[in-house]
Amino acid sequence: MSNPSKVTKAEDDTQGRASVAGARKPGATFEPRIVAFLCKWCSSAGSDLAGVSRIQYSANATPITIPCSGSVSPMYILSAFNKGADGVLISGCHPGDCHYMEGNYLARRKLYLVKELLQFIGLESERFRMSWVSAAEGAKFAEVVDEFVEDLRVLGPQNRLKAKR
Amino acid sequence: MVNVEEIRDYAANLLKKGEVKSVLGFRRGSASAFAEPCTITDVGEATSLVWDPTCLNNLTLYLVKDRKQQAAAKNPDNRPVGIVAKGCDSRAIGVLLQENYFKREDVVVIGVSCEGTGVVDPRKLSAKLKGRTASRVTFGGADGINVSVYGDETETVIPAREILADRCLECRAAVPALNDVVFGEAVGAREFDEPFHAAKEAESLSADERWATWEHHFDRCLRCFACRAVCPMCYCPECVVDSTTFVVTLGTSAEEKANRIRWCERSANTSESAVYHLTRTIHLAGRCIDCGECERVCPVNIPLRLLNTKLEKEAFEMFEYQAGHDIEQASLLSSFRDEDPNSFIR
Ligand code: SF4
Ligand code: SF4
């Protein structure tokens, strides 16, 4: 992988488990787990750029590359929370820059409704986030993730929608 | 006032002229005062049609069922169907037309006005009657519903606001806009609750309070799927939350099972029911016309309407979109405007 700061799946898994276990142990610091759905045309490349530019940022986000922010089904988000994500980030191209012309506009409308609905049932509003990050905005990507991690640290682990298995 | 004889004559005429193969309407139920849905195919049966505040059901569901039946039939009967529709029901037909579920010429909409009130909520009515059973419920003008009970045939006027279904209290258009004929006066202004009243009230609680409420509700959900079964918009042959076509047999390999996406488990626990309900709500965004059927049929009284109206409110306020109002319009989630909210995105 060309991105040194991007964690591999295996590393991330151990880290995630450690963080879940850590959250239960008093005194241990809580490492939030973020599932980040990144558009392959922009934000995914933006995260790569953050990596190759050797920007230091939190390694708490598990990136999942998707073809377009418009392709995000609300089920991805619900499923991520169900499986224990502390936060979900969706990142796509700036308005006007969509590779498919209007995917991000459709995403914006759809995800606005998802955000409102999640808040309505009482999920903390900080847990679901959307950003526009272009392929040239490595620094912005790092900033978005860092900010998200900080906010989630304050909130603590997400237990409301997490499956109690 | 709607003269029920006119509805009967109209339905009989449609059948006589062969313009429709059947008429979906309401008839007197066999128990208590509540009407039940019926399908009439003979001219003579038209006399059994009724229209009063106990005609709760959204009959559009049966249009959808008929479509499904004809699609599976060897010799499909594709003649049009007549349907008695209230304001909300006509909007449901509107959404289905918008989605090309059937064509305008496949349905004859016999619109009925709600006379400035609406339909009653059976739970509110029985609480009001303190255990007695209503024998007759009729419209009583702008703000009353006439009710008489078994053993005492004197009619009492109950203020409409006390026994009307929640959705009727908030209804913005109690007259079917989409119709072939309308019976009764179009009473526009209604002085009950403001639109989205209940959703706004729920919004005003804190996040913790809201979660406490919904956790309780999700926990109680039996996952009987009655809410899905009664909704005319939930017409998918297979629902994303519980696959019915993926059959696990001895021959199903572990890989096939593993690769099959299961968005949520079928077990009725809080987290899985949360996924079900949120999915259901989002799949009905811009499609739910607030007929309140889902909430009415829920055996454990989960306030499902709140979830749906929350998104209906957002669609109305942020996107100026109203489900079922314009059949030419692009659907809520397949359209956008430049001025859609953007400030929540970083
Ligand atoms: S979700 Fe409920 S209120 Fe909305 S259309 Fe379906 S049954 Fe009617
Ligand atoms: S009808 Fe009520 S109990 Fe049944 S699945 Fe729907 S919400 Fe759950």
> Residue B166: which of B292, B311, B301, B294 has the closest Cα?
B292
* Assigned domain for B178 exists: yes
| Same domain as B20, residue B36 | yes
| Same domain as B182, residue B322 | no
Residue A161 contacts B, CB cutoff 8 Å: yes
By Cβ distance, the residue of A108, A125, A144 closest to B346 is: A144
pLDDT beyond 50 at B113: yes
* Assigned domain for B150 exists: no
By Cβ distance, the residue of A115, A121, A164 closest to B271 is: A164
Domain containing B275: what range?
Answer: 194-332
| Same domain as B178, residue B59 | yes
Confidence at residue A2, expressed as pLDDT on a 0 to 100 scale: 44
Average pLDDT for A150-165: 92
Number of separate domains in chain B: 2
| Residue B303 Cα to ligand 2 middle (Å) | 10
Domain containing A127: what range?
Answer: 54-157
* Assigned domain for A44 exists: no
pLDDT confidence band for A106 (50 / 70 / 90): very high
Coil, strand or helix at B308: helix
* Assigned domain for B74 exists: yes
Over residues B130-157, the pLDDT tens digits come to 888 898 899 987 778 999 988 887 888 9
A52-55 CB contacts, 8 Å cutoff, 24+ apart:
A52/A2, A52/A3, A52/A138, A53/A138, A53/A139, A54/A4, A54/A5, A55/A5, A55/A138, A55/A139, A55/A142
| Same domain as B233, residue B181 | no
Q: Which of B193, B226, B243 is the last residue of a domain?
A: B193
**Which range (A128-142, B188-202, B303-317, B326-340) has the least confidence?**
B188-202
pLDDT confidence band for A26 (50 / 70 / 90): low
How many beta carbons lie within 10 A of that of residue B243, not counting itself?
14
Average pLDDT for B65-88: 94
Confidence at residue A84, expressed as pLDDT on a 0 to 100 scale: 93
Answer with the residue of higher pLDDT: B168 or A19: B168
> Residue B55: which of B108, B7, B106, B107 has the closest Cα?
B7
Interface of A with B in 58-117 (CB under 8 A): 74-75, 78-79, 82, 95, 102, 105-106, 108-110, 112-117
With a CB cutoff of 8 Å and minimum separation 6, the contacts of B86 are: B55, B58, B111, B112, B114, B119, B174, B176
**Which range (A26-30, A31-35, A39-43, B294-298) has the least confidence?**
A26-30
* Assigned domain for A105 exists: yes
* Assigned domain for A162 exists: no
Confidence at residue A162, expressed as pLDDT on a 0 to 100 scale: 94
Confidence at residue B242, expressed as pLDDT on a 0 to 100 scale: 80
* Assigned domain for B345 exists: no
Average pLDDT for B190-204: 89
Residues B322/B300, Cβ–Cβ less than 8 Å: no
Mean pLDDT rounded to a whole number for chain A: 87
State the first-to-last Cα distance of chain A, in angstroms, to the nearest integer: 33
Percentage, residues of chain A above pLDDT 70: 82
> Residue A38: which of A47, A29, A30 has the closest Cα?
A47
| Same domain as B227, residue B183 | no
Residue B211: list chain A partners with CB under 8 A: 121-123, 160
Residues B305/B198, Cβ–Cβ less than 8 Å: yes
- Give the number of whichever ligand sits closest to the CA of residue B233: 1
| Same domain as B216, residue B305 | yes
* Assigned domain for B272 exists: yes
* Alpha carbon distance B253, B268 (integer Å): 27
| Residue B58 Cα to ligand 1 middle (Å) | 9
Q: Which amino acid is at A140?
A: K
Confidence at residue B183, expressed as pLDDT on a 0 to 100 scale: 92
- Per DSSP, the residues of A65-101 read EES-GGG--HHHHHHHHHTT-SEEEEEEPPTT--TTS
* Assigned domain for B229 exists: yes
Q: How far is CA A159 from CA A54, A83, B26, B80, B214, in A?
A: 34, 10, 47, 51, 14
Helical segments of B171-292, H only: 197-203, 207-220, 226-230, 254-259, 270-283
With a CB cutoff of 8 Å and minimum separation 6, the contacts of A74 are: A110, A111, A114, B278, B279, B282
Confidence at residue B51, expressed as pLDDT on a 0 to 100 scale: 94
How many beta carbons lie within 10 A of that of residue B209, not counting itself?
12
Residue B333: list chain A partners with CB under 8 A: 106, 109-110
| Residue B231 Cα to ligand 1 middle (Å) | 5
Reported ipTM: 0.91
The single residue listed with the structure tokens 């007929």 is: B291
pLDDT confidence band for B174 (50 / 70 / 90): confident
**Which range (A56-60, B159-163, B170-174) has the least confidence?**
B170-174
| Same domain as B312, residue B177 | no
Structure tokens at B27: 């008839």
- Ligand 2 atom closest to B301 (CA): 2
Coil, strand or helix at B181: strand
Residue B199: list chain A partners with CB under 8 A: 120
* Assigned domain for A87 exists: yes
* Alpha carbon distance B135, A9 (integer Å): 67
Confidence at residue B311, expressed as pLDDT on a 0 to 100 scale: 97
Residues B96/B232, Cβ–Cβ less than 8 Å: yes
* Assigned domain for A23 exists: no
pLDDT beyond 70 at B225: yes
Answer with the residue of higher pLDDT: B30 or B247: B30
State the first-to-last Cα distance of chain B, in angstroms, to the nearest integer: 55
* Assigned domain for A134 exists: yes
Residues B162/B128, Cβ–Cβ less than 8 Å: yes
| Residue A135 Cα to ligand 1 middle (Å) | 42
Confidence at residue A10, expressed as pLDDT on a 0 to 100 scale: 43
Confidence at residue B154, expressed as pLDDT on a 0 to 100 scale: 86
Tell me, what CATH number does B70's domain have? 3.40.50
Structure tokens at B181: 């004929």
Strand order in the sheet with B107-112: B35-40, B22-28, B81-85, B107-112, B181-183
* Assigned domain for B276 exists: yes
pLDDT beyond 70 at B96: yes
pTM, 2 dp: 0.89
With a CB cutoff of 8 Å and minimum separation 6, the contacts of B203 are: A120, B310
| Same domain as B179, residue B81 | yes
Helical segments of B73-130, H only: 87-98, 122-128
Percentage, residues of chain A above pLDDT 90: 81
- Provide the residue count of chain A: 165
Please indicate whether residue B311, judged by its CB atom, sits closer than 6 Å to ligand 1: no
| Same domain as B271, residue B180 | no
Number of separate domains in chain A: 1
pLDDT beyond 70 at A11: no
Percentage, residues of chain B above pLDDT 90: 71
Is B340–A105 a contact, with Cβ atoms under 8 angstroms apart?
A: yes
